[in-house]
Structure 1
Amino acid sequence: MKSFDLVFSNFGIFDLVDILLVAILIYLFYSLLRGTIAINILIGYLLIYIFYLIVKALDMRLLSTLFNGFFQVGVIALIIVFQPEIRKFLLMVGKNFKLYRNEYWYRFFVRNKTVRKEMEHAQIKPILDACKVMQESQTGALIIFAKNPEEEHFYKNGEEIQAVVSKRLLESIFNKYSPLHDGAVIISEGKIMSAACILPLTDNQDLPPYMGLRHRAALGISEVADVAALVVSEETGHLAYARQGKIKAPITLSDLERYLRKDLI
Structure 2
Amino acid sequence: MFEYISSLWSQFLSLLSSFNISSALDVLLVSFIIFSGIKLIRETRAEQLVKGIILLLGIWIVANIFSMNMMKTILSYFFNFSVIALLIIFQPEIRRALEQMGRNNFGKKLGLLNKEEEKQKEKKQRCISAVVDSAAYLQERKTGALMVIERETKLGDIINTGTVVDAIPSQQLICNIFFNKAPLHDGAMVIRDGMVYAAGCILPLTKSNKVSLELGTRHRAAIGMSENSDAVIVIVSEETGQISMALNGVLTRNYTRETLQNALEEYLSSSSEPKTQKKIPSFRKAKKS
Normalising by structure 1, report the TM-score: 0.72
Residue identity opposite 2:69 in structure 1: R
Q: Does 1:49 align with 2:57?
A: yes
Assess if the C-alpha contact under 8 Å between 2:205 and 2:221 holds in 1: yes
Assess if the C-alpha contact under 8 Å between 2:126 and 2:169 holds in 1: no
Query: What corresponds to 1:103 in structure 2?
Result: 109
1:171 to 153, 175, 194: 175
* Residue correspondence of structure 1 range 82-101 to structure 2 within 5 A: 82-83=90-91, 86=94, 89-90=97-98, 92-96=100-104, 99-101=105-107
1:82, distance to aligned residue in structure 2 (A): 4.1
- Which segment drifts farther, 29-38 or 175-184? 29-38
**Compared CA separation, residues 160 and 36, structure 1 to 2 (3 A):** farther
Unaligned runs of 5+ in 1: 111-116
**Compared CA separation, residues 87 and 201, structure 1 to 2 (3 A):** closer
Query: What corresponds to 1:214 in structure 2?
Result: 218
Q: Does 1:64 align with 2:69?
A: no
Assess if the C-alpha contact under 8 Å between 2:244 and 2:252 holds in 1: yes
| CA distance in structure 2 between the partners assigned to 1:35 and 1:263 by the alignment | 24
Question: Could you tell me the percent identity over the aligned residues?
Answer: 34
| CA distance in structure 2 between the partners assigned to 1:40 and 1:148 by the alignment | 30
Q: Aligned pair count? A: 255
**Compared CA separation, residues 16 and 189, structure 1 to 2 (3 A):** farther
Query: What corresponds to 1:234 in structure 2?
Result: 238
**Compared CA separation, residues 15 and 154, structure 1 to 2 (3 A):** same
- Which segment drifts farther, 51-60 or 28-37? 28-37
Q: Which has the higher contact order (CA 8 A, sep 6+)?
A: 1
1:153, distance to aligned residue in structure 2 (A): 3.2
1:66, distance to aligned residue in structure 2 (A): 0.7
Normalising by structure 2, report the TM-score: 0.67
| Cα RMSD after superposing both structures | 3.9
| CA distance in structure 2 between the partners assigned to 1:164 and 1:135 by the alignment | 22
Q: Deviations over 1:212-260 (max 9, x none)?
A: 3322322344455554432111232211223454433323344434544
Query: What corresponds to 1:247 in structure 2?
Result: 251
SS of corresponding position for 2:130: helix
Unaligned runs of 5+ in 2: 1-8, 115-120, 271-289
